[in-house]
């Protein structure tokens, strides 16, 4: 009797550890997905800022850039056209301003590349955690099936040692049905 209680306590501890591990994996997935989302938002913000810097530096190149309606439309093409804009208009503005703008644009674009690397990292992290989650679920299913198999084997031994009366057969069938319903 003591060994059954002790064995059940160990099984409960193992079950609690499995549940804790599953919770940790779920939390890690949520954190990685949140990090992924944050980096994507940060890229949008950085790109918006770099486009503003380009527009503010080369405002004369962009007609109506001082108006927000046009500015938003201009932003869509500012970064794409930056090399051409810089080449054609850098001599028309103060050289120091043009150089500072170029350094700022390069720094922002480096930050975008860093964020893209982080996004790849978070995507891989999410995939690894999801794989771990899947493996844990498969292990739990195998453990559960093995447990039910062992219980059926135990029932078979228990009921096969007695006579073949109708009551014993029905009791055995009821126990097996109960186990199957759990699965």
- Residue 139 domain-assigned? no
Local structure of 7: helix, strand or coil:
helix
- Examine residue 41 and state whether it is found in any structural domain, yes or no: yes
Cα–Cα dist 124/118, whole Å = 10
pLDDT at 2: 47
What is the extent of the structural domain holding 113? 9-132
Using a cut of 0.75, tell me whether the model's pTM lies above it. Answer: no
Please give the tally of structural domains in the chain. 1
> Which contacts (CB < 8 Å, 24+ apart) does range 148-153 have?
148/179, 148/182, 148/183, 151/179, 152/176, 152/179
Q: Is residue 109 part of a domain?
A: yes
- Two tokens at 125? 């992290």
Residue 167: what pLDDT? 58
Residue identified by tokens 């099936």 is 145
With contact defined as beta carbons under 8 Å apart, do 130 and 29 qualify? yes
What single DSSP character describes residue 78?
H
Each residue's pLDDT tens digit in the chain (183 positions)? 445 555 566 667 777 787 888 999 999 999 999 999 999 999 999 999 999 999 999 988 888 888 878 888 888 889 999 999 999 998 999 999 999 999 999 999 999 999 999 999 999 999 999 999 999 999 888 888 888 778 777 767 766 655 555 556 666 667 667 766 766
- Does the residue 175 lie in any domain? no
Answer whether residue 101 is part of any domain. yes
Question: What angle separates helix 2-57 from helix 95-160, to the nearest 10 degrees?
Answer: 160
Distance CA 93, CA 99 (A): 10
Within a domain: 183: no
User: In sequence order, what are the residues at sequence separation of 6 or more whose Cβ sits closer than 8 angstroms to the Cβ of residue 44?
Assistant: none
Tell me the DSSP string of 68-81: HHHHHHHHHHHTTT
Distance of alpha carbon 96 from the chain centroid: 44
Tell me, what's the pLDDT at 182?
66
Question: What pLDDT sits at residue 162?
Answer: 54
Domain assignment present for residue 119? The answer is yes
Residue 16 resides in a domain: yes
């Amino acid at each position: 009797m003591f060994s059954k209680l002790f064995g059940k306590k160990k099984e409960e501890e193992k079950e609690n550890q499995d549940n804790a591990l599953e919770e940790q994996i779920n939390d890690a997935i949520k954190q990685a997905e949140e990090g992924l989302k944050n980096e994507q938002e940060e890229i949008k913000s950085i790109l918006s800022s770099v486009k503003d810097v380009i527009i503010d530096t080369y405002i004369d190149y962009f007609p109506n850039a001082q108006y927000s309606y046009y500015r938003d439309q201009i932003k869509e093409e500012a970064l794409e056209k930056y090399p051409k804009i810089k080449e054609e208009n850098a001599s028309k503005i103060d050289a120091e301003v043009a150089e500072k703008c170029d350094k700022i644009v390069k720094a922002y674009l480096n930050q975008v590349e860093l964020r893209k690397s982080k996004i790849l990292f978070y995507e891989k992290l999410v995939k690894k955690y999801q794989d771990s989650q899947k493996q844990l679920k498969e292990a739990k299913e195998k453990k559960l099936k093995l447990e039910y198999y062992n219980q059926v084997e135990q029932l078979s031994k228990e009921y096969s040692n007695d006579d073949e009366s109708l009551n014993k057969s029905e009791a055995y069938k009821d126990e097996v049905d109960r186990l199957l319903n759990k699965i």
